[in-house]
């Protein structure tokens, strides 16, 4: 099975310093939905792993998060794509949980649910914590310039072997070409 792990905000949709708190605020980055559809067509199982501390901060509730994800799923379906599984951490950094990236809890759960080692599995994110969580379990960290990507790149300290692309569409084009 081919698996790929994506962060949500800044990779699939535009991010906001004030959090994505409603379906109206969720707007896909141009080309991202089509890129996910291309992954599906190439036989990838697409998984989202996203920190959603807005829940823990009381900025929105589970019903709102579900409504945001419903909008995303519908938009993806219209583009011919789908997300096969969605993992999220609702905690704030103060909660010191194991699931909030950069800790690897969500990635460990993905590994268990799909009954596979994540060694070499592409994991695309826009922040250092996305890349660190991926690298901890041997996944292939991939940074995109969208979202916080430019700031992450200029900050340095990327995990060894991190690949860098302009956006999700360019990363997907590369991955599909590598596996052709």
Catalytic residues: 7, 9
In the three-class reduction of DSSP (H, G, I as helix; E, B as strand; rest coil), residue 177 is classed as helix
Report the C-alpha gap between 111 and 107 in whole angstroms: 6
User: With the CA atoms of 113, 8, 145 and 74 taken in that order, what torsion angle do they form, in degrees rounded to the nearest 10?
Assistant: 110
* Helix H or strand E encompassing 125: strand 122-125
In contact, 14 and 29? CB cutoff 8 Å = yes
């Amino acid at each position: 099975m081919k698996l790929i792990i994506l962060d949500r905000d800044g990779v699939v949709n535009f991010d906001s310093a004030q959090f994505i708190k409603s379906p109206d605020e969720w707007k896909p980055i141009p080309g991202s939905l089509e890129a996910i559809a291309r992954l599906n067509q190439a036989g990838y199982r697409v998984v989202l792993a996203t920190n959603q501390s807005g829940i823990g901060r009381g900025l929105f509730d589970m019903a709102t998060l579900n409504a945001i994800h419903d909008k995303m799923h519908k938009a993806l379906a219209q583009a011919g794509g789908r997300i096969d599984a969605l993992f999220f951490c609702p905690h704030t950094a103060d909660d010191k949980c194991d699931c909030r990236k950069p800790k690897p809890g969500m990635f460990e759960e993905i590994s268990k649910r799909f009954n596979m080692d994540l060694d070499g599995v592409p994991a695309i994110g826009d922040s250092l914590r996305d890349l660190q969580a991926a690298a901890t379990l041997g996944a292939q960290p991939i940074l995109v310039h969208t979202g916080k990507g430019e700031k992450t790149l200029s900050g340095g300290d990327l995990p060894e072997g991190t690949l860098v692309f302009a956006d999700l569409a360019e990363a997907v084009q590369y991955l599909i070409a590598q596996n052709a």
